[in-house]
Amino acid sequence: MCSSDLVQRLAAFADGDLGGNPAGVVIRDSLPDVETMQDVAREVGYSETVFAAPVGNRWSVRYFAPVGEVPFCGHATVALGAALGQAHGAGAFHLDTFAAGPVEVRAEAEGDHWQVELTSPPAHHDAPLAGTVARAMLLFGLTGADLDPTLRPICAHAGADHLIISLHDRSRLATMTYDLSEGAALMREVGLVTISLIHVAQDGIVHARNAFASGGVIEDPATGAAAAALAGWWRDADLRHGRIEIAQGHDMGVPSRLFATALPGQGAGVRVAGRVRVI
């Protein structure tokens, strides 16, 4: 049996002692059946709940949003890393995700918190399917004048597919709004897990908002998979290298901070790090 009473509740990518994206974490001797995992995720109500079970010296992992399974979730992986570190000590843990393949997560104690870094699945990017950008812009009420002319909209992947739309004005990012049912229909039709709106500030910090209608959630305050997809795209397109700091969740009152570093080599994975706090 598995109930929501057995769920650890952790916030990944916290900004100091505040914010972070809540995730449910369930560690069992074996994974529950799919119906049970879905029921628990729905009852917990967070954007994702992660389920993990040991298989030899590795961990079998699946992720569920309130309305269905998702292939990969960065913030839930980071939360799981903290839970594994708490149970087994600091170090690296090797995960076999059901849909996205092998992922490594490394946890280190940092006072009363945990600092956790995941290494994502391989990254790649493509032009969005025809008509997708126009439909997304209509969904969010954007016009061509709102877009950053230096960064074209892109579909990027590092375990899950994300449409990334770059805006030239931070204040326009702050006003993000859209219809949840229309967003869910669009994302499911074209195979997107999220739509990420970003603004790159003059100091290089990326400000992000991430619509997760495909999972039944209007917005995520921190999205590690989208951060990995962004960093992988920028590396492979030779747009930017080195560590990227991402500020997310501030516009919804849940400040979060992520750090993404693409590994060397076209298509390689991305390291995404952040702090985890207990809710």
224-236 helix and 74-88 helix, angle to the nearest 10 degrees = 110
Across residues 188-213, what is the average pLDDT? 97
The H or E element spanning position 114 is strand 113-119
* pLDDT higher than threshold 70 for residue 103: yes
The residues, ordered by sequence, that sit 6+ positions from 39 with a Cβ below 8 Å of its Cβ are none
pLDDT of residue 6: 85
> What is the amino acid identity at position 126?
D
Residues 81 and 194: their CA atoms lie apart, in Å, by 23
Residues 164 and 162: their CA atoms lie apart, in Å, by 6
For the segment 4-54, what is each residue's pLDDT rounded down to a tens digit?
668 999 999 999 999 999 999 999 999 999 999 999 999 999 999 999 999
Residues 199 and 188: their CA atoms lie apart, in Å, by 25
Comparing CA positions, the residue from 279, 277, 254 lying closest to residue 114 is: 277
pLDDT of residue 101: 95
For the segment 56-82, what is each residue's pLDDT rounded down to a tens digit?
999 999 999 999 999 999 999 999 999
Q: Are 20 and 13 in contact (CB under 8 A)?
A: yes
Residues 82 and 22: their CA atoms lie apart, in Å, by 13
The residues, ordered by sequence, that sit 6+ positions from 86 with a Cβ below 8 Å of its Cβ are 114
Tokens of 159: 């375990």
Q: Are 163 and 142 in contact (CB under 8 A)?
A: no
Whether the predicted model's global pTM rises above the 0.75 cut:
yes
Q: Are 123 and 72 in contact (CB under 8 A)?
A: no
For the segment 112-153, what is each residue's pLDDT rounded down to a tens digit?
889 999 999 999 999 999 999 999 999 999 999 999 999 999
